[in-house]
Amino acid sequence: MLLLSALGELPKLDYAIFSDTGWEPSAVYRHLDEVERRIARPANIPILRVSSGNIREDALDPAHRFASMPLYILNKDGSPGMTRRQCTGEYKIKPIKREVRRILGYPYPARVPRGVFVEQWIGISTDEFHRAKDSDVKYTRHTFPLIDLDLSRADCLRLLAEHGWESTPKSACLGCPFHGNAQWRQIRDESPEEWADVVEFDERIRAGNARANADGRPLLGQAYLHRSRQPLAIAPIDKLTRNELRALQQQAEVTEDELELGSEGGCSPFSCRGEAA
């Protein structure tokens, strides 16, 4: 959408907002810098970077309130479970809403007057039109330019490639439990330092988040980043054997594609589909 706005195919944006969890792959931060330099600044579109903190540090800090990640749980009786996902709202949506209120001139807790609002573009393509949702606040009105232009995901990828952006990386936390095996392998094989980082984090969250344990609310089971509910260092992220595939599919109703490519829901702000109950 930013590219289309800069090209004049869409109206000129006033701002673009990147909500930073503090734990994105380094490739995402490099890409964002390039987007800002080559697209946003020449088009005079400011990219605002907002944040609610560093999700990795917060999860491991016993003194910090933590919005839970959707960790895979192995209960004491061997049954599978999953923690609630609150991180998208806390680390993605909340800072964006806070910035929108600041732009409007009514930071929280000021009341935004009736009729004062922003039009917020949400990047959902025609493949996922059913994810298009109205805003839950009156000071923001969602619109969906890619749907209005009848652009599919494949159309968007072709457009990016035509303008030299075919290597656009996926924005998601390094240790997001919704990664599929392909993304875990990519981190392991292409970024050893980041792989060591997520393996260490996986080991340290085995008993759940640090604040809950400090408050006397220990996890009744063990937590893992990988859906196999095995330590990430030894989890079956390479090509699965038939037995491994069958075992994982018995734990949860997932397809082979979802195991490889990750949850369809991911952690997209405003249009989540993978929310854990």
pLDDT at residue 149 is higher than 90: yes
pLDDT at residue 272 is higher than 60: no
Q: What is the mean pLDDT of residues 65-84?
A: 89
Secondary structure tally for the chain: helices H, strands E? 12, 7
- pTM assigned to the model: 0.88
Q: What is the mean pLDDT of residues 34-59?
A: 96
- Cα distance between residue 244 and residue 233, in whole Å: 16
- pLDDT, residue 110, reads 97
Helices (H), 25-144: 26-35, 55-59, 87-88, 94-104
- pLDDT, residue 276, reads 36
Q: 192-204 and 181-190 are packed helices; what angle lies between their axes, rounded to 10 degrees?
A: 120
Tell me the C-alpha to C-alpha distance, in Å, between residue 245 and each of 74, 188, 239. 18, 21, 9
- Cα distance between residue 186 and residue 170, in whole Å: 12
Residues whose CB falls within 8 Å of the CB of residue 86, separated by 6 or more in sequence, listed in order: 67, 68
DSSP assigned state of 91? I
Q: What is the mean pLDDT of residues 49-56?
A: 95
pLDDT at residue 234 is higher than 90: yes
- pLDDT, residue 140, reads 97
pLDDT at residue 273 is higher than 90: no
Give Cα 124 distance to the centre of its chain: 14
Burial grade of 263 (CB within 10 A; 0-12, 13-18, 19 or more): buried
Q: Beta strand pairing status for 80-82 and 72-75? A: antiparallel
Encode pLDDT of 195-229 as tens digits: 999 999 999 999 988 888 888 888 889 999 999 99
Question: In this structure, how many other beta carbons lie within 10 angstroms of the beta carbon of residue 183?
Answer: 19
Least confident span in 72-76, 137-141, 264-268: 264-268
263 or 28: which leads in pLDDT: 28
pLDDT over 90 percentage in the chain: 72
